[in-house]
Amino acid sequence: MKNNFDFIERADLYIKDELNAEDKLIFEKYCDENPHAAEEYKQHRLLFQKLREYQLRKNL
Amino acid sequence: MSRNQTLLQEDQDLIDGITNGSTESLRIVYKEHFPLVAQYIIKNSGSEEDAKDVFQEAIIVLYDKINKGDFILSSRLQTYIYSVSRFIWLKKLNSNNPLTVAMHQELEETLAVEDDLQESNTKEMQFHLMEESLNLLGEPCQTIIKDFYIHDLSMQEICEKFGYTNANNAKTQKYKCLQRLKKLYFSY
Q: What pLDDT sits at residue B82? A: 86
For A30-57, the pLDDT digits (tens) are 999 999 999 999 999 999 999 998 988 7
Name the residue with higher pLDDT: B59 or B161: B161
Q: Mutation test of the interface with chain A: which of B124, B131, B150, choosing the one with the most A Cβ atoms within 10 A? A: B150
Domain count, chain B: 2
Nearest one of B89, B110, B107 to B39, comparing CA atoms: B89
Identify whether the C-beta of residue B65 lies closer than 8 Å to the C-beta of residue B84.
no
The residue range of the domain holding A25 is 4-58
State how far the Cα of B96 lies from the Cα of B103, in Å rounded to an integer: 13
| Domain stops at, among B119, B153, B172 | B119
Q: Which one of A12, A44, A55 has the shortest CB-CB distance to B150?
A: A55
Q: pLDDT digit string (tens) for B106-146? A: 666 666 656 655 666 677 788 889 999 999 999 999 999 99
Cβ contact B126–A53 (<8 Å): yes
Structural domains in chain A (count): 1
Residues of B near A (Cβ–Cβ under 8 Å) read 123, 126-127, 130-131, 134, 145-146, 148-150, 152, 171-172, 175, 178, 181-182, 185-186
- Which of B28-32, B135-139, B182-186 bottoms out in mean pLDDT, i.e. has the lowest? B28-32
| More confident of the two residues A10 and B98 | A10
Residue positions counted in chain B: 188
- On whether residue B102 sits in a domain, the answer given is yes
Flag whether pLDDT at A60 surpasses 80: no
Q: How far apart are CA A44 and CA A14, in angstroms?
A: 11
- Ranking B39-43, B130-134, B154-158, B159-163 by mean pLDDT, the lowest is B39-43
Output the CA torsion sign for B25, B26, B31, B32.
Answer: positive
Residue after which a domain boundary falls, among B119, B152, B168: B119
ipTM greater than 0.95, yes or no? no
Straight-line distance from the first to the last Cα atom of chain A, in angstroms, rounded to the nearest whole number: 39
Domain membership of residue B130 (yes or no) is: no
Dihedral sign, Cα of residue B180, residue B186, residue B187, residue B188: positive
Residue B13 has a pLDDT of 86
Q: Is pLDDT above 90 for B159?
A: yes
Which residues in chain B are closer than 8 Å to A48, comparing Cβ atoms?
149
State yes or no: pLDDT of B174 exceeds 70.
Answer: yes
Interface test with B, best of A54, A55, A56, A58 (most B CBs within 10 A): A54
Q: Are residues B182 and B114 in the same domain?
A: no
| B144 is a domain residue | yes
Same domain, B37 and B69: yes
Nearest CA in chain A to B185: A47
Among B127, B145, B152, whose Cβ lies nearest the Cβ of A57? B127
By the 10 Å C-beta count (0-12 exposed, 13-18 middle, 19+ buried), B119 is classed as exposed
Q: Are residues B115 and B144 in the same domain?
A: no
Q: Which residues of A touch B171 (CB under 8 A)?
A: 5, 9
CA B172 – CA B80 distance, rounded (Å): 48
Candidates A28, A31, A27, A30; CA nearest to A10 is A27
Domain presence at residue B132:
no
Contacts of B84 (CB under 8 A, 6+ apart): B58, B61, B62
A39 touches chain B (CB under 8 A): no
Which chain A residues contact residue B170 at CB under 8 A? Answer: none
Structural domain range at position B73: 3-119
Residue A24: which residues within 8 A CB-CB, separation 6 or more?
Answer: A14
